[in-house]
Structure 1
């Protein structure tokens, strides 16, 4: 990945601020990038394509593409800006037919301050922007480090958060044919049709076992899936996400002690684990957790876990992963 930039000191709607983003300045920056023998550029689309011959996009075009992809009609909006730019953003999305239900803003003009915003403040503004009827929250600014909290805030608010940096990376990866999921940066970048099928399996298992959480871990490095990463997960309401069948009814009294964090941090008191096996190799496992209390897992529930293993194996075989 190669980067270029234009000087941006402050952001507002006055002539001096707007002039920082002139087409000529953007072109000069992009032409320098083109010397690096790139496959694609993400900036001013049409003009850059004419000047470099490369496929191009922008963070705004990518954001709109994401909204269309997921059928969003009603959204909330947040960013670091003052009134002028925020009103402009609202008008832009309304002009495209979207209903902007609520906004929040930091009321700041200085671009360096944008980049140094404490993450706790960004999380506060995302919460403030949320609206019960909003299908997603759009975070508008490529110099605001909101990407670092997207995963956490999606879990807290229960809806997608489409951050400018994340949607720009999503579009750039798509333009150069990279389609593997990226974990830890929110649902958009880890969205994968195969993993979605596995989440459906986990939802069924969660319901059938009346459990607190079901998780799937896989060891497929070519798909960015490592056993330390939860590749798919389903959680009951109010349960925080985690970052031979073993049945443990009481984790405090078992011959095979669990990781300390499982009990101390996530308050899991009982669990079932089912390995995913390929020949003699374990390539992952499915977990079923009970939070806050011990329980005796029934034979029917153990059977549901076995069926989930078979469904996941079938999905992976069909997809060519195994």
Structure 2
């Protein structure tokens, strides 16, 4: 049994994790611990508080007791808002506190893009434009070219959590560009796990979504690879061999 630990802020789309667990197979367990979201706002000052070391540390002991093999801070905006170096400091502190391999959703997007050999991506963000721009900046710092960013201007994770299939597909269509090799949907408050294969079929390219890449990252840290076509190309393609 491989146990994967996730620190998830508040309550918006945590039901993605039981769904993903079912798609992965019976020998993988996803343990979700909720952290204090504080003020629910896609605003830089609130996001910095949400991702503080104190907020993350509060949930770590429960994950340790569950026997987790790795831990991922399951929040994109609460990690990339710190910038490339600050986000590294965040996960290093989390790893020391947990005594486990650790990462965050922001790094999961970069690592997944690298593994799939993606050089140019488009971003469909639920965030306001200034926060969406910070995610694009983070990706560029990780060596991923961003050829288009579509923001949605939504302030709260609670509102994002109410989006259904129609809104997700509308955002994906609006954000995609012909020169993008993949589309990224970066909010862990967004329900996407049920739609990834259909999104990829419609767009004709890989689609990376926040909770999907978060789980993939936890598996990577635990040195596990799983073939799960229901989770899209990221879970079916062979890794790119760097030479």
From 94, 98, 118, the equivalent of 2:144 is 98
Q: Note if contact 1:76-1:131 (Cα within 8 Å) is conserved in structure 2.
A: yes
From 42, 51, 54, the equivalent of 2:72 is 42
Q: Secondary structure at the match of 2:41?
A: coil
Q: Secondary structure at the match of 1:168?
A: helix
Matched, 1:174 2:220: yes
Change (3 A) 1:7 1:28: closer
From 195, 201, 204, the equivalent of 1:149 is 195
From 113, 123, 139, the equivalent of 2:169 is 123
Matched, 1:2 2:10: no
Matched, 1:25 2:71: no
Unpaired runs of 5+ in structure 1? 194-322
* Aligned ranges 1:192-211 → 2 under 5 Å: none
Per the TM alignment, residue 75 of structure 1 is displaced from its structure 2 partner at its CA by 0.8
Task: Determine which structure has greater relative contact order: mean sequence separation of CA pairs < 8 Å that are 6+ residues apart, divided by chain length.
Answer: 2
Per the TM alignment, residue 63 of structure 1 is displaced from its structure 2 partner at its CA by 1.1
Change (3 A) 1:14 1:175: closer
Count of paired positions: 193
| Whole-angstrom distance in 1 between the partners of 2:64 and 2:139 | 31
Residue 181 of structure 2 aligns with which residue?
135
Larger Rg: 1
Change (3 A) 1:56 1:96: closer
| Whole-angstrom distance in 2 between the partners of 1:169 and 1:113 | 23
| Whole-angstrom distance in 2 between the partners of 1:169 and 1:65 | 12
Q: Note if contact 2:35-2:56 (Cα within 8 Å) is conserved in structure 1.
A: yes
Give TM-score, length-normalised by structure 2: 0.73
Q: Note if contact 2:42-2:156 (Cα within 8 Å) is conserved in structure 1.
A: no
Q: Note if contact 1:12-1:18 (Cα within 8 Å) is conserved in structure 2.
A: no
| Whole-angstrom distance in 1 between the partners of 2:61 and 2:91 | 13
Structure 1 runs (4+) deviating above 6 angstroms are none
| Whole-angstrom distance in 2 between the partners of 1:102 and 1:185 | 24
Per the TM alignment, residue 192 of structure 1 is displaced from its structure 2 partner at its CA by 5.1
Change (3 A) 1:75 1:41: same
- Cα RMSD, aligned residues only: 1.8
From 172, 190, 208, the equivalent of 1:162 is 208
